[in-house]
């Protein structure tokens, strides 16, 4: 009969030895070369799709606003009603609030082992089903039940935002076990979705197409993207590179596993204590960028004296100098972070703080609603200056945010990498939502001061 050797003393010694191994595996800003390579960049491409799938449904809903307001809700029952006139505002509040709430939920409801990664396919498939319902609602004749249609649309937006909030933070969580560029790849996909949305809007403005056909087409495209990402997720175990990092992370988490399932299962306070400047800078970058972009920058007018000489016609001024410039430069900034890991963390923190302050100061003195301003002068009276500085500031936002979100989980001990990643996802979304909502206050302050 065999005798068990798993005494408390030997178990403690094994745990202690495992923790020493984990200390040796701790990653710094520059990742060690993996023992295996990501062949054909398969894993990198899947993480790119993660980023696209996490936000693309929202952009498609924005594209369909005209169709929903002017066609689906423009009926004898709901025409002129509060929810028809303010549908864009209502849908924005539902999406932002739900996305942020579910990011927090995913942060605090962090069970042992790999529940966050298990939530990725679940979120994708339910999101695909909700988009399928949206396609059906777009096709159905709804003139006699437009009130119920509005409620159904709100529920679908709520469900899609909830699932995508869980999906985005879970994807950032999953990227923590891989080298830094995989966190950047998610943000590259996230920003590319915005660029694609912007190009769709410009094409839609150039070509007169039936609203219903356009909306249904884009719903189908979004549905297809979610399904492709869902299938791609299950291709990850085929990569030896992915399995190698997954096995290391499993061993590390098992070695540090504790018998608790409370809110403090993950060491958030220790992580915050060490990295609070990094999370603050991520929040500040997103807050200042979204507060100046979302609606404020879209109301910056062309300088009247340069309308004939400026390269962009007045008709396309906002579309190109604001929307296309924003999404393109954010994408290029995130893309740059894949190839270059500079500047270092300390310099990024300093430059992020400086850039955030200068961004607000710059846009305050641009030509925003010149007929409504009272006392604040318009100091930026050259369209080329405004366009150039806007290009630089948004490019730096994409670069700095991408670097900061990849630095955080890589500079901490192995057992703290995943809470660090979840906190970066929260800082990113919280900053975006706060900035988006604060933009209305920002507009009011500029006009009243």
* pLDDT for res 47: 95
What would the two tokens of residue 300 be?
């910056």
The mean-pLDDT minimum among 44-48, 210-214, 330-334 falls in: 210-214
What mean pLDDT, rounded, does the chain reach? 81
Task: Assess whether pLDDT exceeds 50 at residue 27.
Answer: no
Give the global pTM: 0.85
Rg (CA), the chain: 24
Task: Assess whether pLDDT exceeds 50 at residue 23.
Answer: no
User: What would the mean pLDDT of 371-380 be, rounded to a whole number?
Assistant: 82
**Whether 271 contacts 416, CB under 8 Å:** yes
Residue 106, CB half-sphere, CA atoms under 13 Å: how many? 35
* pLDDT for res 2: 40
**Whether 354 contacts 417, CB under 8 Å:** no
* 260 contact partners, CB below 8 Å, separation of at least 6: none
- Residue 89 is classified by DSSP as H
Task: Assess whether pLDDT exceeds 70 at residue 307.
Answer: no
* pLDDT for res 50: 95
* pLDDT for res 1: 40
Confidence of residue 179 (pLDDT cuts 50, 70, 90): confident
**Whether 416 contacts 308, CB under 8 Å:** no
Instruction: Give residue 303's region: left, alpha or beta (phi > 0; psi -120 to 50).
Output: beta
- Nearest alpha-carbon partner for 432 in 185, 191, 181, 163: 191
Cα four-point dihedral sign 246, 178, 283, 122: negative
Residue with the two structure tokens 């001024």: 317
Confidence of residue 110 (pLDDT cuts 50, 70, 90): low
User: What would the mean pLDDT of 355-365 be, rounded to a whole number?
Assistant: 88
Q: What percent of the chain has pLDDT over 70?
A: 84
* pLDDT for res 306: 62
* pLDDT for res 302: 86
What would the two tokens of residue 421 be?
């990643």
SS3 category, 309: coil
Q: What percent of the chain has pLDDT over 90?
A: 29
* pLDDT for res 10: 46
Q: From the CB of residue 155, how many other CB atoms can be counted at a distance below 10 Å?
A: 13
SS3 category, 300: strand
* pLDDT for res 157: 92
What is the rounded CA–CA span in Å between residue 70 and residue 167? 32
What would the two tokens of residue 114 be?
């790999």
SS3 category, 235: coil
Q: Which residue has the higher pLDDT, 77 or 228?
A: 228
**Whether 214 contacts 67, CB under 8 Å:** yes
What would the two tokens of residue 97 be?
């609030």
What is the rounded CA–CA span in Å between residue 281 and residue 272? 13
User: What would the mean pLDDT of 294-303 be, rounded to a whole number?
Assistant: 82
SS3 category, 157: helix
- Nearest alpha-carbon partner for 89 in 59, 70, 65: 65
Task: Assess whether pLDDT exceeds 90 at residue 106.
Answer: no
- Estimate the crossing angle of helix 211-233 against helix 42-63, to 10 degrees: 160
Task: Assess whether pLDDT exceeds 50 at residue 42.
Answer: yes
User: What would the mean pLDDT of 216-232 be, rounded to a whole number?
Assistant: 88
User: What would the mean pLDDT of 295-317 be, rounded to a whole number?
Assistant: 80
Task: Assess whether pLDDT exceeds 80 at residue 17.
Answer: no
What is the rounded CA–CA span in Å between residue 223 and residue 210? 20
Confidence of residue 263 (pLDDT cuts 50, 70, 90): very low
* 191 contact partners, CB below 8 Å, separation of at least 6: 51, 327, 330, 331, 333, 334, 398
pLDDT in tens, 380-427: 888 899 999 999 999 999 999 998 888 765 556 666 777 788 889 999
Q: What are the φ and ψ backbone dihedral angles of 239, each rounded to 5 degrees? A: -90, 125
pLDDT in tens, 111-170: 655 467 888 999 999 988 988 888 888 888 888 888 899 999 999 999 999 999 999 999
User: What would the mean pLDDT of 242-249 be, rounded to a whole number?
Assistant: 81
Residue with the two structure tokens 């396919």: 121
The mean-pLDDT minimum among 23-27, 35-39, 363-367, 435-439 falls in: 23-27
What residues form DSSP beta bridges with 368? Answer: 300
Confidence of residue 95 (pLDDT cuts 50, 70, 90): very high
Residue 285 to residues 128, 187, 204, 216, 330: CA-CA distances in angstroms?
Answer: 31, 14, 31, 35, 12
Q: Which residue has the higher pLDDT, 3 or 378?
A: 378
What is the rounded CA–CA span in Å between residue 312 and residue 387? 11
Task: Assess whether pLDDT exceeds 80 at residue 109.
Answer: no
**Whether 258 contacts 146, CB under 8 Å:** no
User: What would the mean pLDDT of 213-241 be, rounded to a whole number?
Assistant: 87
* pLDDT for res 448: 79
DSSP for 383-413, please give it: HHHHHHHHHHHHHHHHHHHHHHHHHGGGSS-
* pLDDT for res 265: 55
User: What would the mean pLDDT of 7-15 be, rounded to a whole number?
Assistant: 45
The mean-pLDDT minimum among 84-98, 185-199, 259-273 falls in: 259-273
What would the two tokens of residue 126 be?
């339910």
């Amino acid at each position: 009969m065999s005798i068990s050797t798993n005494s408390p003393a030997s178990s403690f010694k094994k745990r202690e030895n495992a923790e020493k191994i984990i200390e040796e595996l701790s990653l710094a800003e520059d990742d060690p070369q993996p023992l295996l390579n990501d062949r054909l960049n398969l894993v990198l491409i899947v993480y790119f799709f993660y980023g696209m799938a996490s936000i693309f449904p929202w952009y498609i809903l924005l594209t369909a606003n005209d169709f929903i307001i002017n066609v689906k809700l423009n009926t004898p029952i709901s025409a002129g009603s509060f929810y028809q006139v303010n549908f864009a505002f209502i849908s924005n509040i539902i999406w932002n609030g739900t996305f942020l709430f579910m990011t927090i939920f995913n942060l605090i409801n962090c069970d042992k082992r790999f529940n966050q990664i298990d939530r990725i396919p679940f979120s994708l498939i339910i999101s695909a089903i909700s988009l399928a319902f949206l396609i059906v609602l777009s096709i159905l004749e709804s003139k006699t039940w437009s009130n119920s249609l509005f409620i159904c649309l709100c529920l679908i937006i709520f469900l899609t935002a909830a699932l995508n909030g869980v999906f985005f933070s879970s994807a950032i969580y999953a990227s923590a076990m891989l080298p830094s560029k995989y966190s950047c790849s998610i943000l590259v996909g996230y920003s590319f979705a915005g660029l694609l949305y912007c190009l769709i809007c410009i094409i839609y403005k150039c070509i007169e197409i039936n609203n219903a056909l356009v909306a249904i087409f884009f719903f189908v495209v979004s549905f297809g993207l979610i399904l492709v990402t869902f299938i791609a997720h299950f291709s990850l175990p085929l990569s030896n590179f992915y399995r190698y990092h997954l096995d290391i992370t499993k061993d590390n988490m098992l070695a540090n596993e504790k018998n608790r399932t409370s809110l403090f299962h993950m060491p958030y306070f220790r992580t915050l204590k060490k990295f609070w400047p990094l999370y603050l800078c991520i929040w500040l970058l997103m807050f200042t960028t979204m507060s100046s972009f979302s609606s404020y920058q879209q109301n910056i007018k062309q300088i009247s004296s340069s309308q004939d000489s400026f390269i962009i016609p007045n008709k396309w001024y906002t579309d190109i100098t604001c929307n296309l410039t924003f999404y393109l430069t954010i994408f290029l900034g995130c893309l740059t972070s894949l190839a270059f890991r500079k500047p270092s963390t300390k310099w990024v923190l300093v430059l992020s703080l400086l850039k955030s302050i200068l961004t607000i100061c710059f846009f305050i003195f641009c030509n925003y609603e010149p007929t409504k301003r009272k006392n604040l002068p318009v100091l930026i009276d050259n369209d080329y200056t405004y366009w150039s500085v806007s290009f630089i500031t948004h490019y730096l936002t994409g670069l700095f945010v991408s670097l900061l979100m990849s630095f955080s989980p890589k500079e901490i001990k192995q057992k703290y990498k995943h809470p660090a990643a979840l906190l970066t996802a929260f800082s990113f979304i919280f900053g975006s939502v706060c900035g988006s909502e604060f933009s209305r206050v920002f507009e009011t302050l500029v006009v009243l001061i």
